[in-house]
A and B are shown apart, each in its own frame.
Chain A
């Protein structure tokens, strides 16, 4: 059920259909939606990079970028312009085709994931009925881009980084998936709009209380690992591997990886918000009469979760590869399975809290 439409701008939707024949209008609408989401991608990416740098500075008692624009607000824009003007270099005897293909893999999966997120009641491009499953699947496809980048670079460090990424994603997507499955048990649907609907009688983290809380903690840990952020950034451990899988990339191709990383963080935070904190629903339904405020609630909550992930990043030291695997297979996975049973029992005995 493809609902690609500009339903969140109804007047534009009607205008397009009155102006063009239906087929053409549909096409034009798709292009427009694509452009809007690409813009969101770029703006959100740049904003998150700036936010990360500012937040990191505060955690380390520094000031952070504060020269370009008011309080440094234009810094990442300037950086992006600089990267645009850089030469695109490559290595000799690299696999040129895969080398050039890799960044697109990474950003396209990130963009596809953006499409299914319900930003508000009407602002969702693609309300697929297996939404959550789709998101989990996409987050594992993104790693192919990283593997291709490592392989195509003809660089040992890049290769090691990519392999580590493979190890990490294979292990941690299990935890991401299982913690989400735990919540699906409670919500009873994979469709994102349906999951939000269920939360009208209390956010799932409240409804599911203890097991939901455990699932949230596991999801945050595994989600941070999925996005290859510190403390799980073995993929691009600067002190060991240079820049990891994107060592050989320069200019805009490097920027793609960089932006995709931050967008992935945003997506993980958004999934957490959708599944645990009621997406665009306001707390206690205080702004229920103003549905367009949903976007702000959604972005606000996502922003808080992103802040939490940054807090992790600037507090914890990086794990070793063996520690990484120990954490997943010896701790997260058994806990997750036990939690799944706990949640099943909770739902079965109707011990959920509902308002």
Chain B
């Protein structure tokens, strides 16, 4: 008897699958997710989750919250992040402290894996949507 229940179950699941794709087929005309990129350059709005580049957030005083902890540098599997730091004396407490000199991000090596963003304890780096790094000479920068 389980033979027939198996057949019934099999056919039912196949039909469920076909219903899902069938709905896509009928409704996908306008809602296709393809972006015809250079044509819609003016109106293109990338998705929130899109990973274009890693940027360091700056607030209105042009300050960032990076502490120079180097966790992102360690997390990056291919060494795309380089942190150049220095030791100095904190003017407030008079203690020795690590200062971040430079946070260098090599876009050309980055694989957009997102590990650095996850690793950062102070949420100093986030994803930005910009993906086009060039411009033609006729465009304003």
Q: Which residues of A contact B (CB under 8 A)?
A: 55, 57-63, 66, 311-312, 314-316, 331, 335
Contact = CB atoms under 8 A, between A and B. Distances in A.
Interface stretch (B28-36, B42-50, B68-76, B94-102): B28-36
Contacts of A311: 18, 21-22, 25
Contacts of B28: 58-59, 61
A350 B92 CA distance: 102
B21 A314 contact: yes
Contacts of B24: 58-61
A315 B33 contact: no
B6 to A, nearest CB: 8
B7 interface: yes
B39 to A, nearest CB: 10
B101 to A, nearest CB: 46
Nearest to B10: A331
Nearest to B33: A61
A59 B34 contact: no
A312 B22 CA distance: 10
B108 interface: no
Q: Helix, strand, loop or mixed for chain B's interface?
A: helix
Contacts, number: 40
Contacts of B32: 57-58, 61-63
Contacts of B31: 61
Contacts of A314: 21
B130 to A, nearest CB: 24
B14 interface: yes
B140 interface: no
Contacts of A66: 36
A315 B14 CA distance: 8
Given A315-B17, A316-B17, A331-B7, A63 B25 contact: no
Contacts of B34: 61-63
18 contacts: A57-B32, A58-B24, A58-B28, A59-B25, A59-B28, A61-B24, A61-B32, A62-B32, A62-B34, A63-B32, A63-B34, A63-B36, A314-B21, A315-B14, A315-B20, A316-B14, A316-B17, A335-B7
A57 B31 CA distance: 12
Nearest to A317: B17
A314 B25 CA distance: 10
A316 B29 CA distance: 22
B9 to A, nearest CB: 12
A57 B32 CA distance: 9
Nearest to A56: B25
Given A59-B25, A61-B33, 19 more contacts: A58-B24, A58-B28, A61-B28, A61-B31, A62-B34, A63-B32, A63-B34, A66-B36, A311-B18, A311-B21, A311-B22, A312-B18, A314-B21, A315-B14, A315-B17, A315-B20, A315-B21, A316-B17, A335-B7
